[in-house]
């Protein structure tokens, strides 16, 4: 079937710069969502001071963003297929724009929460749209690199926006300027997307879908056990990984090096390496013709990362943690996004990405809310060993056992 599809495809627009232009504008649209997400995280002291709340309320201000992303993931799967990629991305970016506008003029915590919920809707939509928009432009054996680029959409924002947000807020003396910046940025990306995006003239999809013989079906999706294994891996990996990232700079400044600059530099270095390794892992998996091998390597790295991240106190050895951070944060996501497009027929890809997007958001929410309480109860090192390591081990076992013979 795949060979027949490849032979039937004209290669003109598929191998030209148009396909990669689509990857770039879809990636930028995706980047806007976690960039909006980080607004209350990276300038938290200013936000808490302006609204007069503490870390407990901050957890909810951050957390409501993930909740709506999880709730709308599955409805978005059929929503995207009905409206098409262009209008779906426009709506996702509109959520970011409207959310920023509400945040700019928010005078109380409730209104700020509303802005986060609206932005979270855009995040949930883009989690479903990204893979669905990119895969029709590339044959299965060449999707690793473009989906590896897409897989860095969260890591790239986490690498760039902490320093950017802090610089903007410091230069202007107010957190509101950060919201204004991303309002303008979201509008610019929307304009660029509308100019550059095109639907493929003859997409790399199954012949049955081309002929209109199959339609999206939730029952068919839910019966695919491989999708649920991938979603479970993403749930435990993202829950543990995001939980570690939220306390990384605090741990480094308290136990590794007292300088806040060193702490934030380590965090940024890990995020930047993860952003870079995401497309690298995709290219490697294309070259060796195996997603599962690369995924196993990254999950093994995650287990070691979980054991070391809150244990090493020597600043010279902490570079090991940063390298493992990139393998975990960049490689796992890239392989899971690429794999979900290959384990289902093309008409179910939006549903498979919805399963991953939902599990990602739920994992992020629970990890962010749970880890702080565990650290407060048992300390950093023990929290790493009793929370992070078991979660990563469960994910590794799911890949090794649950995906054996089911993922190339």
| Band of pLDDT at residue 288, cut at 50, 70 and 90 | very high
CA angle at 394 for the pair 390 and 396, rounded to the nearest 5°: 115
In this predicted model, what pLDDT tens digit does every residue of 166-178 receive, in sequence order? 889 989 989 999 9
Average pLDDT value for residue range 111-115? 95
Q: Does position 136 have pLDDT exceeding 50, yes or no?
A: yes
Tell me the pLDDT of the chain averaged across its residues: 88
Q: Is the pLDDT of residue 365 over 50?
A: yes
Per-residue confidence (pLDDT) for residue 231, from 0 to 100? 96
The token pair that represents 293 in the structure block: 């091998």
> Among candidates 63, 189, 170, 55, which has minimal Cα distance to 126?
189
Answer whether residue 309 shows pLDDT above 50: yes
Cα atoms in the Cβ-side hemisphere of radius 13 Å centred on 254: 10
Say which DSSP state 39 is in.
Answer: H
Percent of the chain with pLDDT over 70: 94
Q: Residues 162, 38: contact at Cβ < 8 Å?
A: yes
Look at residue 4 in the predicted model and tell me its pLDDT. 43
pLDDT at 82 > cutoff 70:
yes
For residues 315 and 325, the answer to whether their CB atoms sit within 8 Å is no
Residue 114 three-state SS: helix
Confidence of residue 145 (pLDDT cuts 50, 70, 90): very high
As a whole number of angstroms, the distance between CA 135 and CA 204 comes to 7
- Angstrom distance (rounded) from CA 42 to CA 165: 7
Q: Among candidates 337, 3, 2, 16, which has minimal Cα distance to 201?
A: 16
Judge contact between 114 and 40, C-beta under 8 A: no
What letters, b where the CB count within 10 A reaches 16 and e where it falls short, cover 312-341? beeeeebeebbbbbbbbbbbbbbbbbbbbb
What CA–CA distance (Å, rounded) separates 103 from 125? 20
DSSP H helical ranges for 197-331: 207-210, 218-222, 225-245, 248-251, 260-288, 291-308, 318-326
Q: Tell me: the pLDDT tens digits for 322-364?
A: 999 999 989 999 999 999 989 998 889 999 999 998 998 889 8
Alpha carbon distance 134, 128 (integer Å): 11
- pLDDT, residue 62, reads 80
Provide mean pLDDT across the span 131-151: 91
Three-state DSSP at 315 gives coil
For the segment 211-220, what is each residue's pLDDT rounded down to a tens digit?
A: 676 777 888 9
């Amino acid at each position: 079937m795949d060979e027949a599809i490849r032979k039937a495809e004209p290669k003109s627009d598929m191998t030209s710069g148009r396909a990669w232009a689509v990857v770039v504008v879809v990636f930028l649209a995706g980047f806007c969502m976690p960039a909006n997400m980080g607004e209350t995280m990276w300038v938290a002291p200013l936000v808490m001071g302006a609204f007069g709340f503490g870390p407990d309320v901050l957890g909810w201000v951050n957390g409501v963003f993930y909740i709506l992303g999880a709730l709308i993931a599955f409805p978005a799967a059929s929503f995207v297929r009905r409206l098409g990629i262009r209008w779906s991305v426009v709506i996702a970016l509109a959520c970011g724009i409207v959310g920023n506008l509400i945040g700019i003029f928010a005078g109380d915590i409730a209104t700020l929460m509303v802005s986060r919920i609206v932005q979270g809707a855009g995040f949930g939509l883009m989690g479903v749209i990204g893979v669905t928009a990119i895969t029709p432009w590339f044959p299965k054996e060449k999707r690793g690199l473009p989906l590896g680029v897409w897989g860095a959409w969260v890591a790239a924002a986490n690498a760039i926006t902490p320093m950017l947000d802090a610089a903007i807020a410091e230069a202007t003396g107010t957190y509101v300027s950060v919201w204004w910046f991303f309002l303008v940025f979201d509008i610019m990306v929307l304009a660029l997307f509308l100019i550059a995006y095109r639907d493929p003239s003859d997409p790399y999809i199954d012949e049955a879908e081309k002929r209109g013989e199959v339609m999206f079906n939730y029952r068919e999706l839910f019966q695919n056990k491989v999708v649920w294994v991938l979603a479970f891996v993403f749930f435990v990996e993202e829950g543990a990984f995001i939980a570690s990232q939220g306390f990384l700079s605090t741990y480094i400044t308290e136990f590794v090096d007292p300088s806040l600059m060193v702490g934030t530099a380590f965090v940024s270095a890990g995020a930047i390496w993860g952003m870079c390794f995401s497309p690298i892992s995709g290219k490697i998996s294309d070259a060796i013709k195996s997603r599962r091998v690369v995924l196993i390597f990254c999950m093994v790295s995650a287990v070691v990362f979980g054991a070391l991240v809150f244990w090493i106190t020597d600043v010279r050895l902490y570079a090991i943690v940063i390298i493992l951070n990139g393998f975990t944060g960049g490689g796992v996501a890239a392989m899971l996004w690429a794999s979900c497009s290959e384990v289902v027929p093309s008409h179910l890809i939006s549903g498979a990405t919805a399963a991953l997007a939902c599990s990602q958001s739920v994992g992020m929410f629970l990890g962010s809310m749970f880890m702080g309480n565990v650290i407060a109860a048992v300390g950093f090192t023990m929290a790493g060993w009793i929370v992070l390591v078991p979660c990563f081990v469960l994910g590794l076992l799911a890949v090794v056992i649950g995906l054996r013979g089911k993922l190339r």
